[in-house]
């Protein structure tokens, strides 16, 4: 595998496991953006279409099911399944509605979420979850069962409205169901937990949204993907709040002092039913058009139905067939007024035949409010949509809360679209995209500093020209300092990390002189519950030794660098170092993590003897298996290099450690190399100790600080030389 192929394999994009089709294979009734989304989903094989209401998810999922050519099960909410079968006729498809896994059609079958226990998933090679946002409303056990049920199904498609970018649960649910990544893996890879809860890492934004776009298309309007919005610009939406005066009060309140929680909200809604029904009937008087009346209480629905002769009340207790017949009657214009609840007909139904609706009361659920409105206010609606929100004057805070959630949802939706649309357009067009990659070289008498990918730029260094390398590779810590796959630290697992590192190890052997040394700084890595499934330690040191030996190096020895356990406990809050754990359960206690300098020698005879300028006492100190007296604060200034997206402070190698390596394994005037140059610690010490420096750094911000530090080291050395000459 070439290096470029390896980098491409590191990108967190779902591989294509589906089928290649062309737009000509898709029914011509679908619009261009619908055809392209369908083609993309077929190619992916396992995907999610997060498309806003009215964008034609039904047609897209039906065509996907047809084109995959397998026996397919579509799972939909109870009120939507029969509607989907009716819609299929418009694109010349037969969809078999079934409530039993023993009665199946070879082509496309559709059932309800409530009936899933009746079906054997091995009977299907493809599954579609319609209105798949239902996953987040299920209890954990049911959601897990649903996810596990289809883990062996080759082809999977989820269809629902656009999630908010901070809706970790919804995104994780879909990723797990599609077999892309577990919730634990997603959190460990892209998120960090702090006082505010889980949040996206600064440097993880670009990889996260690119990963999301590789399996989920988020669309509010065709223009989000670069298409024309003709036909999707909807008529006006008129929201009319109606505040009903009432003498009622929540139970236990002599004077109204505000709604204090769910109990007060429920109490007020119950005692104001009659007042709100009177206001609602006044609005309906004189209208001969169709209306939907959304209720939340059975009493509201029953009493409203009694007031209006031309109405039908669709209740949860009705038989499934009766519900479907009633909803179809309303869609066909045979029923003038439909009274029902959001959980019955508020998700997935097409009611463009109606442009008037009323909320007879309101709860705090923005999603239910939004979905109910979008049953009428969607593609195909020709008339202005009139929405009346009839609530008591005591419930104004509820309406205000819903409006605030609506504004936040719009901001979040826009944020998601802004982040993912460039990647989605690339996915749709099957165009490859790399990150912006910069290169620059600054070469002076005492140093050469290169900006770029160390695996690529090391190729510019001549064979057997480096006398000593001293460096600290980026440990496995995803998106801590950069978003790019060129960063070795941005590896999904140890195999990927060492696969990347080995490209450099091989090049490092090439540029190093025969018999000379490379000093690699490492530390052991804690295993974390959210990432690894257990709390413990990972032998990063041992695996680094193995990798160098695979790369043709000789493992010559190592030095352990003493660390202060209290300073480490304060910095990391590690359970294994806390005083509290000493009193609670010592089985969790462990020693502090030391640093190591691993010493590797290139095979062959050294051509020029290294004659260190060391006294015998210094050699005794340097020859110890543990180096004491290395101050953790003995580093270059790190603050000026840290960016706002960095999740951790840069941890440069202590200057005292670098000094000992350089003095012990090189002569004055020789070349010291650091392939992960950072802010310039190795180069700084090389120049200070009379050597020359070569460094390579991937990140522009660190490169700039590194360059300043190198020039400062040259100036200080020259100033010291002039001062000595003057004496």
**Where do the structural domains in the chain lie, given as residue ranges?**
8-225, 237-406, 443-726
Q: What is the pLDDT of residue 571?
A: 67
**37-51 mean pLDDT:** 93
| Best CA proximity match to 386, nearest among 276, 293, 269 | 293
**Lowest model confidence (mean pLDDT) among 63-72, 202-211, 354-363:** 202-211
Tokens of 561: 């660098």
**Lowest model confidence (mean pLDDT) among 289-298, 345-354, 679-688:** 345-354
- Per-residue pLDDT tens over the stretch 573-621: 777 777 877 788 888 788 878 899 999 999 999 999 999 989 999 999 9
Is the pLDDT at 722 greater than 60, yes or no?
Answer: no
Look up the CATH superfamily of 8-225. Answer: Tandem AAA-ATPase domain (3.40.50.10810)
Q: What burial class does residue 26 get, using C-beta atoms within 10 Å of its C-beta: 0-12 exposed, 13-18 middle, 19+ buried?
A: buried
**Lowest model confidence (mean pLDDT) among 189-203, 364-378, 704-718:** 189-203
Task: Please check whether the two domains, 8-225 and 237-406, share a CATH topology.
Answer: yes
Is the pLDDT at 431 greater than 50, yes or no?
Answer: no
**153-175 mean pLDDT:** 83
Q: What is the mean pLDDT of the chain?
A: 87
**Percent of the chain whose pLDDT exceeds 90:** 50
| Best CA proximity match to 418, nearest among 186, 281, 224, 216 | 224
- Per-residue pLDDT tens over the stretch 477-487: 666 767 788 99
Q: What burial class does residue 633 get, using C-beta atoms within 10 Å of its C-beta: 0-12 exposed, 13-18 middle, 19+ buried?
A: exposed
Is the pLDDT at 416 greater than 80, yes or no?
Answer: no
Q: What is the pLDDT of residue 662?
A: 97
Q: What is the pLDDT of residue 43?
A: 92
Higher pLDDT, 25 or 230: 25
**Percent of the chain whose pLDDT exceeds 70:** 90
Is the pLDDT at 112 greater than 90, yes or no?
Answer: no
Measured between alpha carbons, how far is 146 from 127 in angstroms, rounded to an integer? 12
Q: What burial class does residue 582 get, using C-beta atoms within 10 Å of its C-beta: 0-12 exposed, 13-18 middle, 19+ buried?
A: exposed
**pTM of the complete model beyond 0.75:** no
Tokens of 19: 């089928």
Q: For residue 85, what are the contacts with CB-CB under 8 A and spacing of at least 6?
A: 95, 96, 97, 110
Measured between alpha carbons, how far is 438 from 456 in angstroms, rounded to an integer? 12
CB contact at 8 A, 723 and 715:
no
Measured between alpha carbons, how far is 248 from 274 in angstroms, rounded to an integer? 11
* CA atoms within a 13 Å half-sphere pointing along the CA-CB vector of 291: 28
Alpha helices for 122-202 (secondary structure H)? 140-149, 168-177, 183-190
Q: Which fold has domain 443-726?
A: Rossmann fold (3.40.50)
Q: What is the 3-state secondary structure (H, E, C) of 327-361?
A: HHHHHCCCCCEEEEEHHHHCCCCCCCCCCEEEEEC
Q: How far apart are the first and last CA of the chain?
A: 60
Residue that the structure tokens 């929680």 belong to: 261
Domain 237-406 has CATH 3.40.630.10: no
- Per-residue pLDDT tens over the stretch 615-671: 999 999 999 999 998 888 888 865 554 555 554 545 678 999 999 999 999 999 999
**84-99 mean pLDDT:** 92
The pLDDT-based confidence of 184 (bands split at 50, 70, 90) is confident
Buried b (16+ CB within 10 A) or exposed e, 70-101: bbbbbbbbbbbbbbbbbbbeebebebbbbeeb
CA angle 679, 682, 687 (to 5 degrees): 110
Question: Is residue 591 helix, strand or coil?
Answer: coil
Give me the residues paired with residue 601 across strands: 517, 554
DSSP 648: S
Q: What is the pLDDT of residue 721?
A: 60
Q: What is the pLDDT of residue 580?
A: 79
Is the pLDDT at 248 greater than 90, yes or no?
Answer: no
């Amino acid at each position: 595998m070439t290096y470029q192929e390896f980098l491409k394999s590191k990108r967190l994009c779902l591989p294509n496991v589906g089928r290649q089709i062309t737009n000509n294979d898709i029914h011509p009734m679908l619009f261009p953006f619908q055809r392209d989304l369908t083609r993309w989903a077929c190619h992916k094989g396992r995907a999610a279409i997060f498309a806003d209401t009215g964008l034609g998810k039904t047609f897209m999922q039906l065509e996907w099911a047809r084109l995959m050519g397998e026996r397919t099960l579509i799972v939909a909410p109870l009120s939507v399944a029969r509607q989907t079968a009716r819609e299929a006729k418009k694109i010349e498809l037969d969809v078999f509605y079934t409530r039993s896994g023993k009665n199946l059609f070879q082509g496309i079958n559709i059932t309800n979420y409530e009936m899933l226990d009746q079906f054997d998933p091995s009977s299907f090679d493809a599954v579609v979850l319609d209105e798949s946002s239902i996953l987040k409303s299920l209890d954990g056990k049911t959601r897990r069962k649903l996810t596990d049920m289809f883990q062996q199904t080759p082809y999977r498609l989820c269809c629902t409205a656009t999630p908010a970018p901070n809706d970790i649960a919804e995104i994780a649910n879909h990723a797990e169901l599609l077999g892309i990544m577990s919730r634990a893996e997603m959190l460990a890879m892209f998120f960090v937990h702090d006082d505010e809860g889980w949040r996206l890492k600064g440097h993880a934004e670009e990889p996260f949204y690119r990963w999301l776009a590789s399996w989920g298309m988020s669309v509010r309007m065709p223009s989000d993907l670069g298409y024309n919005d003709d036909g999707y610009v909807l008529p006006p939406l008129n929201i009319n709040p109606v505040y009903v005066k009432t003498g009622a009060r929540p139970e236990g309140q002599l004077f109204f002092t505000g709604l204090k929680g769910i109990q007060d909200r429920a109490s007020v809604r119950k005692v104001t039913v009659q007042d709100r029904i009177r206001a609602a009937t006044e609005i309906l008087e004189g209208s001969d058009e169709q209306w939907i009346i959304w209720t939340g209480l059975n009493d509201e629905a029953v009493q409203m139905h009694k007031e209006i002769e031309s109405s039908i009340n669709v209740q949860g207790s009705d038989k499934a067939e009766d519900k479907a017949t009633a909803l179809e009657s309303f869609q066909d214009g045979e029923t003038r007024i439909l009274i029902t609840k959001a959980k019955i007909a508020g998700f997935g139904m097409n009611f463009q035949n109606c442009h008037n609706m009323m909320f007879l009361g309101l709860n705090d659920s923005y999603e239910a409010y939004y979905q109910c409105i979008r049953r009428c206010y969607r593609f195909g609606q020709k008339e202005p949509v009139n929405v009346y929100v009839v609530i008591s004057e005591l419930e104004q805070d509820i309406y205000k809360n819903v409006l605030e959630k609506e504004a936040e949802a719009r901001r979040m939706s826009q944020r998601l679209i802004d982040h993912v649309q460039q990647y989605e357009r690339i996915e749709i067009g099957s165009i490859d995209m790399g990150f912006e990659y910069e290169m620059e070289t600054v070469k002076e008498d005492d140093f050469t500093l290169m900006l770029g990918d160390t695996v690529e730029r090391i190729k510019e260094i001549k064979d057997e020209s480096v006398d000593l390398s001293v460096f600290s590779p980026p440990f496995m810590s995803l998106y801590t300092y950069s978003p790019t796959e060129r960063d070795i630290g941005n590896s999904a697992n140890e195999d990927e990390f060492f696969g990347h590192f080995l490209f450099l190890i091989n090049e490092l052997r090439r540029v190093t002189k025969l018999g000379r040394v490379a000093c690699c700084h490492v530390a052991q890595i804690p295993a974390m519950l959210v990432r690894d499934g257990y709390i413990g330690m990972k032998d990063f040191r041992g695996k680094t030794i193995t990798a160098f030996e695979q790369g043709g190096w000789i493992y010559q020895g190592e030095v352990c660098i003493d660390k202060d356990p209290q300073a480490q406990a304060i910095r990391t809050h590690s359970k294994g170092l806390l005083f509290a754990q000493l009193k609670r359960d010592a089985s969790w206690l462990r020693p502090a993590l030391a640093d190591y300098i691993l010493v590797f020698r290139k095979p062959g005879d050294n051509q020029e003897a290294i004659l260190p300028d060391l006294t015998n006492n210094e050699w005794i100190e340097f020859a110890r298996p543990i180096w004491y007296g290395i101050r953790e604060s003995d580093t270059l200034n790190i603050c000026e290099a840290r960016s706002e997206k960095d999740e951790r402070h840069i941890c440069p190698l202590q200057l005292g450690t670098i000094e000992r390596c350089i003095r012990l394994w090189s002569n004055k005037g020789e070349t010291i190399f650091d392939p992960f140059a950072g802010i310039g610690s190795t180069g700084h010490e090389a120049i200070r100790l009379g050597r020359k420096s070569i460094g390579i750094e991937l990140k522009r911000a660190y490169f700039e600080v590194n360059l300043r530090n190198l020039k400062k080291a040259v100036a200080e050395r020259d100033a010291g030389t002039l001062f000595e000459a003057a004496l």
